[in-house]
């Protein structure tokens, strides 16, 4: 009996990451997902996947902590080799650009950008020869944000690094692509008033907020053989909100 391929999803217990974890389990992957501050949602994802006949495991990893990321690299599942790597974790604190402190910038860059690169570095020796990777960035990486300049900068760095990595590992048969979501119904929008939410909906040509499942479907496609000739791309999934 052939074992199921392994997918590693950082930040896989909530929001977009949880939807990706569920989708990849349905696609036939065993899912190793990381969380940082919220263990219960991550364990609920694991339980749901197992109850559906798949297998999953949640591990606590603060991607801004070099030591915790290092432990991920020696996790027993790494010996199975990793077929799919989804770098989805991130932190976002709304701070006006002109009020941003250097400590806030360093914290965000450490978690969102350096943490993602660090995860790649420790997992890279365990990647399958034809492994595929998806980096979850943001429309803000190219659009910018007056109240999230540090977040936008971290995602821009992440996107450019991912495209550079695609050029480097392409000859090995590995693929790297970037997903840049727009408004998605996650914790980032949870504090919106009804008025603010309706305002967002009206801004989107498709007249709805995106769902985690929308994003997970795109990740599923990018990992599939249907996307075998796609690498180094940035796929904007925002309902027409932003057209770069």
Question: DSSP string of 42-60?
Answer: HHHHHHHHHHTT--EEEEE
Q: Is 35 a catalytic residue?
A: no
Is-contact 108 150, C-beta < 8 A? yes
Average pLDDT, the chain: 95
Give the predicted TM-score (pTM) of the model.
Answer: 0.95
Q: Strands (DSSP E) along 164-244, which ranges?
A: 175-181, 234-237
pLDDT (tens digit, 9 = 90+) per residue, 79-134? Answer: 999 999 999 999 988 888 888 899 999 999 999 999 999 999 999 999 999 999 99
Q: Measured between alpha carbons, how far is 211 from 114 in angstroms, rounded to an integer?
A: 27
What average pLDDT does the segment 19-42 reach? 97
CA atoms within 13 A on the CB side of 216: 20
pLDDT of residue 68: 97
In the predicted model, is pLDDT for residue 1 greater than 50?
A: no
Domain 6-237 has CATH 3.40.50.720: yes
Catalytic site residue from 29, 151, 229, 242: 151
Angle formed at CA 162 by CA 159 and CA 167, multiple of 5 degrees: 130
In the predicted model, is pLDDT for residue 242 greater than 70?
A: yes
Under the banding of pLDDT at 50, 70 and 90, the label for residue 159 is very high
């Amino acid at each position: 009996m052939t074992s199921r391929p392994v997918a590693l999803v950082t930040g896989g217990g909530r929001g977009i990451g949880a939807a990706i974890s569920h989708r990849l389990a349905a696609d036939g992957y065993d899912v190793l997902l990381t969380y940082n501050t919220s263990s219960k949602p991550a364990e609920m994802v694991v339980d749901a996947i197992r109850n559906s006949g798949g297998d999953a495991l949640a591990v606590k990893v603060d991607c801004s902590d070099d030591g915790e990321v290092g432990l991920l690299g020696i996790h027993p599942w790494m010996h199975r080799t990793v077929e799919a790597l989804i770098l989805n974790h991130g932190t976002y604190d709304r701070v006006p650009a002109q009020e941003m402190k250097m400590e806030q910038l360093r914290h965000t860059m450490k978690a969102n950008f350096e943490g993602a690169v660090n995860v790649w570095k420790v997992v890279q020796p365990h990647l399958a020869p034809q492994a595929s990777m998806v980096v979850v960035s943001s429309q803000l990486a190219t659009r910018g944000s007056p109240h999230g300049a540090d977040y936008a900068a971290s995602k821009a760095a992440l996107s450019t690094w991912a495209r550079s990595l695609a050029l480097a590992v392409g000859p090995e048969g590995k693929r790297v692509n970037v997903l840049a979501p727009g408004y998605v119904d996650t914790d980032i929008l949870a504090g919106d008033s009804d008025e603010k939410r309706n305002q967002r909906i009206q801004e989107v040509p498709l007249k709805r907020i995106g769902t985690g499942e929308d994003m997970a479907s795109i990740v599923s496609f990018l990992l599939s053989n249907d996307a075998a000739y796609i690498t180094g791309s940035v796929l904007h999934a925002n309902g027409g909100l932003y057209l770069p």
